Every structure is written in structure tokens, then in C-alpha cells.
Amino acid sequence: MIVIKDLHKKFGKVTVLDGLNLTFEDKGIHTILGPNGSGKTTLIKSILGMVIPNQGSIEFNGKQILGEWEYRNQISYLPQIAYFPQNLKVKELFQMINDLRPGSKNEAKLISLFQLEPYLDKKLGNLSGGTAQKVNIVITFMFDSPLIILDEPTVGLDPVALIRLKQLIIEEKEKGKTILITTHIMSLVEEISDNIIFILEGKIYFEGKIDSLKEQTKQSNLEKAIANILEETYA
Ligand SMILES: Nc1ncnc2c1ncn2[C@@H]1O[C@H](COP(=O)(O)OP(=O)(O)O)[C@@H](O)[C@H]1O
Ligand SMILES: [Mg+2]
């Protein structure tokens, strides 16, 4: 589905992606891990065409994405930070999204799943961080796309919402979707990932099953395995 070759991205003098190669053909849940600032969001935005790499190529279903936009209709994307129009009401935002991108479904089900009914008439600027994140999640899952990209979807969520989100992700996986997710919640990673991709210093440090990372690092705990790698790298 996605083939990334020799991707380089610098912001000013800072090299963020440094010859990154990555291929995803498989359906299922691929989790991108890496310390803060390691380039996870930059990688995701590059796939979406929101960041233009300095070098390298990205193919989506066999076609270069540079200068293309139609492929984005096959992607649902949850941004790490959603900049909502602060003066719009929640229900007005849902209407706006429906006008911009026809074909949404499950909106009522998702609103009810995240118990957003009491907030529909509230302005987006007045929502708490967690409630705004629930709105962000509803918008993402309203569309039926073969590729779902979730950039830190758990931020600010209460435990009930976290469980609901997990259910949603698993349901989509069972429908045969490809899901790309970044998160720092290791229990979630362990529970749902089919494959993990660990970015370090602008390259892929590890890609594969959680068990092989544990084996490679001789740690039985994923959080410790990752902390070990970071300590060794930055020692
Ligand atoms: N638009 C930008 N302009 C300048 N620097 C940026 C920009 N976007 C990201 N960066 C920098 O690139 C690095 C990687 O950021 P990011 O991809 O957001 O990391 P992550 O998502 O892994 O935390 C950070 O040092 C960040 O400050
Ligand atoms: Mg990020």
C-alpha cells in the first residue's frame, strides 16, 4: 500500500528524517514508536503530502504521491493537534465536515459512543482537551477509508473513552483496514499492534513483532525494552 524510499527531511539545520525506508503492504495495526521529536508526525505528514521531503519518494498503491491529491480520499487522518474553528458549535463542525467530504457514516453512533450529545450545541473553543479529542476521533472514524492514520489519538482521553477508542480501532482492523498509529501508551501498543516500527535518529531502528523486539533487547517488558534502546543510544 505504501512504499517509502530514502526519505530525507530537514527543518532548517535540523535533520528529522535521514534516509528512512519503510514499506507497508499488510492490513492490520502498525504502531510507530519513537521518542518525542523523533519525526513520527513528520513521517505521517509526509505520507499525507502536508510535508514535502527534501529527498526520497513515497508511493501509495503503486503511484508517486508528489503533486497528487486524490489518493487522500482513501485515508482517514486524525491529526495530533486539531485546529478547530473556535467559534463553531460541535454540531456545526460535523455539518461542515459532511459538506466538505460527502459519504460519512456512523456519525450518530460515534457521537453516542463518546457521549458527545450534551456538547453538540457548545462552541469548540469551550471544550476541554479530552472532549475536543473525542470530536477529533468522531470526525476521523466517520469515513470508510482503507487506510486510517491516527497521530497520538489517546491524548487527553478518560479511561472509558480510551476503551471505546480501542474497540473502534479493533473493529476497523477486523473490516480489513490498514491502521497506522502513534502513541506513548505502551499497554495499548502491546494490546493492539500487529507490527511495530521504531524510529530513531531519522531512520527505522526496528520493524517487526513486539516479541522480536523483546527478544532482541532481552527484555520481557516492552516499555523497558524501548527505554533500554534509548539509554544505549543516548548514553
Ligand atoms: N514545520 C516545522 N518547522 C520546523 N521544525 C519542525 C516542524 N515540524 C516539526 N519540526 C521539528 O522536527 C522534529 C520532529 O518533530 P515531529 O515529527 O513532530 O516529532 P514527533 O511526532 O516524533 O514527536 C522536532 O524537532 C520538531 O521541532
Ligand atoms: Mg508527533
Ligand 1 atom closest to the Cα of residue 39 is: 17
Residue 214 gets which letter from DSSP? H
What is the 46 CA–ligand 2 centroid distance (Å)?
A: 12
Query: What b/e string do you get for 80-119 counting C-beta neighbours within 10 Å, with b at 16 or more?
Result: eebebeeeebbeebbeeeeeeeeebeebeebbebbebeeb
pTM over 0.85: yes
What is the CB neighbour count within 10 angstroms for residue 143? 19
Residue closest via CA to ligand 1's atom 24 equals 37
Q: Report the C-alpha gap between 227 and 221 in whole angstroms.
A: 10
For the chain (235 residues), the mean pLDDT of every run of 10, in chain order, is: 97 97 92 95 97 97 94 95 94 94 90 97 96 97 95 96 96 96 94 95 93 91 89 82
- Alpha helices in 38-180, H assignment, sequence order: 40-48, 90-100, 107-113, 129-141, 159-174
Cell of 234: 543516548
Cα gap 31→24, rounded to integer Å: 11
Q: 200 CA to middle of ligand 2, Å? A: 13
For residue 229, the model assigns a pLDDT of 86
Atom of ligand 1 nearest to the CA of 151: 21
Pocket probe mutation, ligand 1, options 42, 54, 197, 201, max atoms within 8 Å of Cβ:
42
User: Measured from the CB, is residue 202 less than 6 Å from ligand 1?
Assistant: no
Give the Cα separation of 127 and 132 in Å (integer): 6
- Hey, what domains does the chain have and what are their CATH numbers? 2-234 (3.40.50.300)
